[in-house]
A and B are shown apart, each in its own frame.
Chain A
């Protein structure tokens, strides 16, 4: 018999949930989004004999309040999609705190099985847990596992499948919240059941949420039955008043206290034993003594960040050059096989150059994400947030903003799209907005190749230093502008920063590879779809409308004149009609005619006209029309900048230059100099985010106004900066 089961994987952040998910599903994963929100939804399949088990990896949360999008997504999934069972993964070394989430599953009544993870690490810490006793007192199965080695995972899934197959009804566990609340709760529960109110939720659970002042449930309740909701709210207000007067506490605090009380009660029944004092210094604490030390900590952090650069750039050089050669070869083959004409031009200039330019940087992006994954999985990234919080607060942000910035490219590369999405972990809407609007200032993976190319062409002596400089500058720009936003359009209070510093762990290779591949694949998908399309559109803009027949005729005439002046000499055996000097002169003249025609074509094209029209303003920053075309393309996607510039120059340049790389072309072009390069680089770093990012900003901020704001605001800022640099730089050099 073949059966399909649906189970949800839930647990705290840092409980090893992702490791377990990877161990169970391996490469059979699918990453998507929950409808309407940008919280990542990971699904995978585990095969147990003939059974297909669909696993949904819920976002890591500490609780199920309506307090963050992740928590709402998690509980909505449980309530509306009704998985047959939750596999609740728990860090064995952190049993008490991790069980807090479990109590909330109990309140919901959904069947639960506990995966007691990292029992080896707990044992090293002298913590011994009697799984059978824990199972007995909690009333749910408990399976000890070690996710990173795979120990116990098979047993876990067998047990989960067995439990899930039972088709259990949901049975909310009645946890006591103290006399006052219990009686109110009963009262509320009765009214909810009697009124057929909020029937999608278990009635006791809905009652608890009313007590906890859960805004999502209350607003649903109000919409469904305003009068009944008001009655419930009144009762809650009464008991709140009573608690405040008698005990100086709030109902939600009482509920939380009793959940912990329930957990403590169980753990005290001989479930857990500590061999050592709880305050004993573990290896992780010893490492922290150095790594978060007042002086050594920041120093080490700078070294780590710089090391990531060196790693990303040095080791990816070789594979990058392989890919460049590969795409060069493909172009060459197409060049020889296809006859001249629009199709050849489309394939070489539109498709191969466009996609090749993007894919050529895949190794760079892989190395970068691999490095970030190490920092993240090892637990170091949380320390970075901890150490930087005080600084971020100065700019009206909080330490969690560092994640969004780093993902956006605060460390060598990244992408503003996940960066903007990562702002979801920020609680305050104001800090979140400030972060998501400024995160695109970071040097994302798509800007990186542009930086690398310009720096290579104009400042090649100190490549790493310049890259480092541009990253630091991005941070400064992002932070200063965030502050600017926080004192103008986004004024407001700062929000809590309660963060967990997970113990340092050795990342697993499998985890690192999956993480790296996921991110790289996202990049490739973007390159393969959006950018291919845009590359073709841009190619068309640069090719059409073509020159008129009479214009073409003029160039043909010029060629004929040259050919007549220097008659060709094709007789074998060396009956040369021309001297060597004459032959050189002939080809030089023909080349210059070709170049003139190509230039005329490009200038005459749609893109050329737009670029030329913009020159009237852009000359202030030193941009000519070719740069303008590339920059316009860059609004669509930053990857397009290089390919467009490449197309612009390969179409407009002469034959010898066509063979050289874009970097060489730019470096040898008299129209370019380091000041202009710097001005262009700064503009590219800070002007309008790419369309995908703008769409994300719009979605995250909930209004097109913010998407439009980011485009206009960023472009204006970048232009002013570029003009300043170009004008001052031109005066000085």
Chain B
């Protein structure tokens, strides 16, 4: 198990959010969409210009910009 910021994650990598290190509006918006500690995410892919990133979260797909993904710390599951 290793921790990294969401931005560093690769396509199809899975993990569990451990922290959202951001308050204020951005933090609130991230949490409103279900990105809270304990949530499992999978990287679905990136937009044609590598940004934003699309994630699978609880059955739906969300997109975040890379610089927003920088606030989300994830415990990455080892590749199986």
When A497-B63, A497-B68, A501-B61 are in contact, do A256 and B48 touch as well, CB less than 8 Å? Answer: no
Asked whether B9 is an interface residue with its Cβ less than 8 Å from the other chain, the reply is: no
Task: List CB contacts (< 8 Å) of B13-61 with chain A.
Answer: 14, 19-21, 23, 25-40, 42, 44-45, 47-52, 54, 56-61
- Mask, A485-506, CB within 8 Å of B = 1, is 0000000000111111111000
B49 touches A391 (CB 8 A): yes
Asked whether A386 is an interface residue with its Cβ less than 8 Å from the other chain, the reply is: yes
Number of interface residues of B (CB under 8 A): 42
A496 touches B47 (CB 8 A): no
Q: Give chain B's interface secondary structure class.
A: mixed
When A292-B48, A390-B52 are in contact, do A97 and B65 touch as well, CB less than 8 Å? Answer: no
Q: Closest Cβ of chain B: how far from A254's Cβ, in Å?
A: 10
Alpha-carbon distance between A249 and B55 when the two chains are bound, in angstroms: 23
Interface size class of A (residues with CB under 8 A): 35 or more
A97 touches B49 (CB 8 A): no
B45 touches A427 (CB 8 A): no
B34 touches A97 (CB 8 A): yes
Name the A residues within 8 Å of B29 (CB-CB): 67, 427, 496, 498
Task: For A125, give the chain B residue with the smallest CB separation.
Answer: B59
Asked whether B4 is an interface residue with its Cβ less than 8 Å from the other chain, the reply is: no
Alpha-carbon distance between A387 and B27 when the two chains are bound, in angstroms: 23
When A67-B29, A292-B47 are in contact, do A260 and B54 touch as well, CB less than 8 Å? Answer: no
Asked whether B5 is an interface residue with its Cβ less than 8 Å from the other chain, the reply is: no
Name the B residues within 8 Å of A94 (CB-CB): 58-60
Q: Closest Cβ of chain B: how far from A66's Cβ, in Å?
A: 10
B36 touches A279 (CB 8 A): no
Q: Closest Cβ of chain B: how far from A479's Cβ, in Å?
A: 15
A386 touches B54 (CB 8 A): yes
A252 touches B27 (CB 8 A): yes
When A250-B23, A279-B14, A496-B65 are in contact, do A390 and B51 touch as well, CB less than 8 Å? Answer: yes
When A250-B27, A253-B27, A278-B59 are in contact, do A390 and B49 touch as well, CB less than 8 Å? Answer: yes
B19 touches A248 (CB 8 A): yes
Q: Closest Cβ of chain B: how far from A323's Cβ, in Å?
A: 42
A496 touches B62 (CB 8 A): no
Asked whether A257 is an interface residue with its Cβ less than 8 Å from the other chain, the reply is: yes
B58 touches A386 (CB 8 A): no
Name the A residues within 8 Å of B64 (CB-CB): 497-498
A298 touches B36 (CB 8 A): no
**For the complex of A and B, 10 pairs with smallest distance between CB atoms:** A390-B49, A256-B31, A97-B34, A501-B61, A63-B32, A496-B26, A62-B32, A250-B23, A294-B48, A499-B63
Residues of A within 8 A of B (CB): 62-63, 65, 67, 93-94, 96-97, 100, 125, 127, 248, 250, 252-253, 256-257, 260-261, 264, 278-279, 284-285, 288-289, 292-295, 297-298, 386-387, 389-391, 393, 399, 427, 495-503
Can you pick out 8 interface pairs between chain A and chain B where the beta carbons lie within 8 Å of each other? A67-B28, A256-B28, A288-B45, A386-B47, A393-B65, A497-B65, A499-B62, A503-B61
